Amino acid sequence: MNSTYQVQSTHYANVALASAHAIVDDLIARADRLAPRFSEETLEAGASNPRPGADSPRRRQVWDMHAEALGWNLIADHVDAVIAAKRYEANGVDYAVALEYTDLGPGTTKTHARVTPILPDAPAGLIPGTRVVWEAPAFLPSGGFTDATVKRTGTVMFAAGHVLTIRPDDAFDANSRVRLAPQDVTPI
């Protein structure tokens, strides 16, 4: 997870726990066991105290656990965001969490949590929601292939490492996905 509270992505959360609130409580309890006094200081400061250096690995882990707990707390009331974060954690994918606010009129705002995978080695611009085009083999009516190619378009749904998961525009059902390498597509 990576949130505005964190210096770097960490993966200390036990995603097998039932809720984000349970994950937050578990992270804090584990941090308390590692370095009780520093844990309390970090908790009270909301992880705004300086992050310890490499000479204090135990304190650094405590600080990181509190910062990660704050990130989980940020999305805890947004079920879809928690499900997405747990899925990314289970798959070993770095991701970022953030809250977006929409003004609905005088004194009324709507909060939406966003969970986005971090793509360290994917080309710039190939984030979820990006429209792309690629060439694919043409199918014969009998179900075979030809040497001809057709241009297909779609939307990047998920990007991790060197694989993009794309929902094609011409898919037969809403669950159809295509997996391609980033160099095989062009953003449109």
Give the tens place of pLDDT for each residue, 44-79: 888 878 888 878 888 989 998 998 999 899 899 989
3-state SS class at 67: helix
Residue 179 pLDDT more than 80?
A: no
- 4-7 contact pairs (CB < 8 A, 24+): 4/98, 5/46, 5/47, 5/67, 5/70, 5/71, 5/74, 6/47, 6/64, 6/67, 6/68, 6/71, 7/51, 7/64, 7/67
Q: For CATH 2.30.30, list the domain ranges present in the chain.
A: 131-187
Under CATH, which architecture does the 131-187 domain have? Answer: Roll (2.30)
pLDDT tens-digit readout, 141-153: 666 656 777 888 8
Q: How do residues 80-134 score in pLDDT, each as one tens digit?
A: 889 989 988 887 777 888 877 777 778 777 787 888 877 555 555 677 778 889 8
SS3 label, residue 155:
strand
pTM across the whole model: 0.60
Burial of 159 (0-12, 13-18, 19+ CB in 10 A): buried
Contact indicator for 68, 84 with CB cutoff of 8 Å:
no
The rounded distance, in Å, linking the Cα atoms of 67 and 43 is: 9
Taking the C-alpha atoms of residue 31 and residue 49, their distance in angstroms, rounded to an integer, is: 15
